Structure 1
Amino acid sequence: MNTSFLTLLSVGLGGGLGAVLRHFVSSAIARQLGHGVFGTLAVNVTGCLLIGLLAGFFIAPGEVPAVSTPLWLLLVVGVCGGYTTVSSFSLQTLTLLREGHGGPALINIGASLLLCFSATAIGFVLIYSRGAMP
C-alpha cells in the first residue's frame, strides 16, 4: 500500500479533531441529560448529519466522490471517522441505495446491527467470565 504523507497527515489530523469533538459533545450532552447513552446518540446523529452535508457538498449527483483529495480525507475520513463511525456506515449504506443496490444496503444494515452488537456482547462475556471485570 503506497500511502502518501499528505494522506496520513490529513486523516490523522482530522481523526484527532473528530475524537476531541466526540469527547466534548458526548460529555456535555451526558452531563445535561444525565446518562452517557444520550451523549453517544447526540454524537451519532450529529456525525451523520455532518457527513451527509459534506457528501452533499463534495459529491455531484451521479458522480463518484474524489475520496483521495486531502480535504475529503481530512473532513470525511478523519473528522467524521474520529467523531463517529456510524456516519461512515450511514454514508456507505446511502451510497448503496443511491446506486440502486437496495438488497445489499439492507444486508449491510442488518448485518452491522447483528454482528456488531453480537461481537460486543461476546467480547464482554469473554472478559467478564474470566473475572477481569469488577
Structure 2
Amino acid sequence: MKFLLVAAGGAVGAALRYLIDRTVQARHDTTFPWGTFAVNVTGSMILGMLTGAALAAASPQDVQLLLGTGLCGALTTYSTFSYETLSLAEAGARFLAAVNVIASVVAGLGALFVGLALAQAVFG
C-alpha cells in the first residue's frame, strides 16, 4: 500500500513538473532555467508545510508518503538543476550559472522555512 501512495504522488508530481516547467519557461525569453527554478522552490515550500504538519502530529504517515516522498520527490529535480547549471557554464553564461546555484539554494531554503512557519502557525 505504501508503495502505491509513493507511486501515485510521483505520477502527479512528474506531470506537474513538466507542466509547470514548460508553462513558466515559455513566458521567459532567456536561457535562465526559470521552469526548473519554479518547480524546485514550489516543492521546497510544499515540503516545508508538510514537515511542519508532521512535527505538529497533524500529518499521517500516508500523507507524508503521498505528498512528501511521491509528489515532492517527483516535482523537484536536482539532476535537471545540475544539468542546466552546467549547460549555462559551458555556453559561456557563467554568471547565470552562478546565479542559478545561489538563487536556487537561497530561494529553496527560504521557501522551506516559509512553508514550515505557515504550518506551525496553522497546526502549532
Same topology, TM > 0.5? yes
1:85 CA displacement: 4.7
State the alpha-carbon separation in 1 of the partners of residues 70 and 53 from structure 2: 17
The aligned counterpart of 1:50 is 46
Match of 2:17 among 17, 22, 29: 22
Instruction: Give, in whole Å, the separation in 1 of the partners of 2:14 and 2:32.
Output: 16
| % identical aligned pairs | 36
Alignment of 1:6-85 (within 5 A): 6-34=1-29, 35=31, 37-60=33-56, 69-85=61-77
Q: Secondary structure at the residue paired with 2:27?
A: helix
Structure 1 regions of 5+ residues with no counterpart? 1-5, 87-115, 122-134
Runs of 4+ more than 3 Å apart: none
> Quick one: distance in 2 between partners of 1:14 and 1:81?
8
- What is the CA–CA distance in structure 1 between the aligned matches of 2:14 and 2:50, rounded to whole Å? 18
Higher relative contact order (Cα pairs below 8 Å, separated by 6+ residues)? 2
Q: 1 or 2, which has the higher helix percentage?
A: 2
Structure ID, larger Rg: 1
Query: Aligned residues, how many?
Result: 81
Query: Deviation of residue 58 (structure 1)?
Result: 1.7
What's the Cα RMSD here?
2.8
Q: Which ranges of structure 2 fall in alignment gaps of 5 or more residues? A: 87-124
The one-letter code sitting in structure 1 at the alignment partner of 2:34 is: F
